[in-house]
Amino acid sequence: AQSVTQLDSHVSVSEGTPVLLRCNYSSSYSPSLFWYVQHPNKGLQLLLKYTSAATLVKGINGFEAEFKKSETSFHLTKPSAHMSDAAEYFCVVSDPYNAGNMLTFGGGTRLMVKP
Amino acid sequence: EPEVTQTPSHQVTQMGQEVILRCVPISNHLYFYWYRQILGQKVEFLVSFYNNEISEKSEIFDDQFSVERPDGSNFTLKIRSTKLEDSAMYFCASSREINTDTQYFGPGTRLTVL
């Protein structure tokens, strides 16, 4: 069975400072990993995904994540936070051998950006 | 850019009533999904659907739930007899392919059961 743990339920940063949202996963196979973002009253938008190519994955809006198999981690980073980054972020794992392509979500991290 | 749409955005119903949540997936996508998020809890997988059949379903997706693609554009989730614990945000998603392909999510329907 696969699982995802997001280590912080809330993260607060000042505008212009770096962002780090932490995610650890558990999977029996080589998983696919995703980060989704949800702005208020909006759907879940894909930020980036890892599918066993390069371990450093670049996404939209300046976000990137590094897959570290030895640490079973997939942390999300951004060098400089912007006010518009304030949202809920979900780390998600998918088992590529799962017939139904079920996604397993972490609990989410709410990012707050202070002016 | 194509989007997944869901209607209604908010549904209020009485316990025991039937509800149908509607989704319009992205037009060239072949795989469809429902997830739900109870307030304060994780997003949970309910069901995946392909070629007019359920591909996989979770333990949550019991006999009270059903899915259907009634025409070439809509994908529906029906709850036959709603319970208080069905109150949640329900997300529809679609993907072009399966196995690692990106799932595109709609904005969700908030279901409140009184």
pLDDT in tens, B31-69: 999 999 998 889 999 999 998 999 999 999 999 999 999
Phi–psi pair at A85, nearest 5 degrees? -80, -10
Task: Label residue A30 by pLDDT band (50, 70, 90).
Answer: confident
Stretch A18-31: mean pLDDT: 89
pLDDT at A1 over 80: no
Let me know: does A79 contact A16? Beta carbons within 8 Å: no
Separation in Å, CA of A80 to nearest CA in chain B: 26
* Mean pLDDT calculated for residue range B77-82: 96
Residue B100: per-residue pLDDT: 62
Average pLDDT for residues B97-104, to the nearest whole number? 78
Smallest Cβ–Cβ distance between A100 and the set B48, B93, B104 belongs to: B48
Does a cis peptide bond (omega within 30 degrees of 0) precede residue A31?
no
Contacts of A70 (CB under 8 A, 6+ apart): none
A104 touching chain B per CB within 8 A: yes
Residue B23 near residue B75, CB atoms below 8 Å:
yes
pLDDT at B106 over 80: yes
pLDDT digits over A96-114, tens only?
666 678 899 999 999 999 9
Encode pLDDT of A56-90 as tens digits: 999 999 999 999 988 999 999 999 999 999 999 99
Is A102 in contact with B99 (Cβ distance < 8 A)?
no
Mean pLDDT of A8-14: 97
Written as one letter, the residue type at A114 is: K
Label residue B64 exposed, middle or buried (CB < 10 Å: 0-12, 13-18, 19+).
middle
Q: Is A96 on the interface with B (CB under 8 A)?
A: yes
- What SS3 class is residue B29? coil
